[in-house]
Homo-oligomer: A and B are copies of this chain.
C-alpha cells in the first residue's frame, strides 16, 4: 500500500504549459474586447457581454469560461463577475487600469524574441543583431513610457517614501533612462526642494516632460537627451535613480555606467537601483526570478541580477556600501548604495 503515498506521474503540467500561450491570447482578447469593463458596467450573462462587446455569444461564453478557469472572473449560474483584482486593474473605468500595459508587455517587438527560443538559448541572448530592445532610439521605449506609466505609480510612491521619507531638504536628482519619468517626478511632488534631471532618448523625454507638467513640477524638471552611456551627466547629485535599467546589460557594461554614476554623485550621495532581484538560488521569488527569461530573449547580455551580483558591480564601480530593501506590495526590490 505504500505506493499510494507517491503521486502517480502525470503529463498535466506538460499540457498546461504547452497550451499556456492560449492564456496570453485570451487575456489580450478580453482586454481588447473590454470584457472586464462590460461586466463592471453590469452586463453579466454571456449574451449581455457579447452585445456590449460586439462579439458572438458562443465566442464570449467560451472566453468568459476560460477567464473563470484562469481566475480573472467568477461564475454563479450563468452570471459572470469580475474578481476584485480584475475590477481594480482590468476595468477601464478604474483609475488603476493596467490593460494598456499590454501595448508594451505583449508588443510583437518583445514577443517575437520568443518565437525561436531554442535558438536564443543556443545563442545565449537575443537573436536581434541590432542589439535587441537596447538598440539606440528603439521606438519600443516610447510605447513603454506611455503604456507602463499606470503600473509605475505605486512603486514610484513607495520608492520616494523609502528614500526620502522626511522630504524636507534639497535633493538634486538624476533619473537615468527616465522613461515615463514617474520615479523622479514622485520625488519632486513629495519634496518641494527636489529637482530632477531626466535622461533618456529625445522621443521618450517628451513623455516624461508631459508627465512632469501634469504633476505640476515642470519648473524643477530638466532633461538630458541621449544614451546613458554617452552623455555627460553633470555632477553634484544627491541621488541617481537607476530604475529597471541595469537588467538590460551585462555586468562589465553596467560597471562602466556605474563608475560614471559614482562620479556624478556629490559626497554622501546615493545610487538608487530598482530591479527584479531574485534570491541567490535564482528561482525565488518566482515572479522576479522569471524576469531573467524576458532579458535572455530581448537583450544580448542582460539578466535579473541577484543582490550579490549587483553589490559586486556597485563595489567595483567605487560604491562603499549597498543595502537591499523590499518594496511591498511591489515584487521589485531596491538597492541603496552609498558613494
Contact = CB atoms under 8 A, between A and B. Distances in A.
A292 B102 CA distance: 24
Interface in A280-294: 281-283, 286-287, 289-290, 292-294
Nearest to A27: B17
Contacts of A71: 13
A274 B206 CA distance: 59
Given A10-B85, A75-B281, A121 B60 contact: yes
A124 B55 contact: yes
B21 A283 contact: no
Contacts of A13: 70-72, 85
A180 B161 CA distance: 63
Contacts of A117: 25-26, 28-29
B24 A17 contact: yes
Interface stretch (A61-69, A189-197, A261-269): A61-69
Decide if the interface of chain A is mainly helix, strand, loop or mixed.
Answer: helix
Interface string A17-60: 11111111111110011000000000000000000011111111
A114 B18 contact: no
A71 B20 CA distance: 14
Given A11-B151, A12-B287, A124-B56, A24 B19 contact: yes
Contact of A303 (B62, B75, B106, B329): B62
A118 B29 CA distance: 4
The CB with the most chain B CB atoms within 10 A, among A66, A89, A105, A301, is that of A66
A46 to B, nearest CB: 10
A160 B329 CA distance: 53
A69 B289 CA distance: 8
Contacts of A101: 18
A95 interface: no
A8 interface: yes
Interface of A: 6, 8-29, 32-33, 53-63, 65-66, 68-72, 75, 84-85, 88-90, 96, 98, 101-102, 105-106, 111, 114-115, 117-118, 120-125, 151, 281-283, 286-287, 289-290, 292-297, 301, 303, 329, 331
Given A13-B70, A21-B114, A56-B122, 16 more contacts: A6-B84, A9-B96, A15-B105, A18-B105, A19-B105, A29-B120, A33-B122, A53-B121, A58-B125, A59-B122, A59-B123, A62-B303, A63-B121, A65-B283, A66-B293, A75-B283
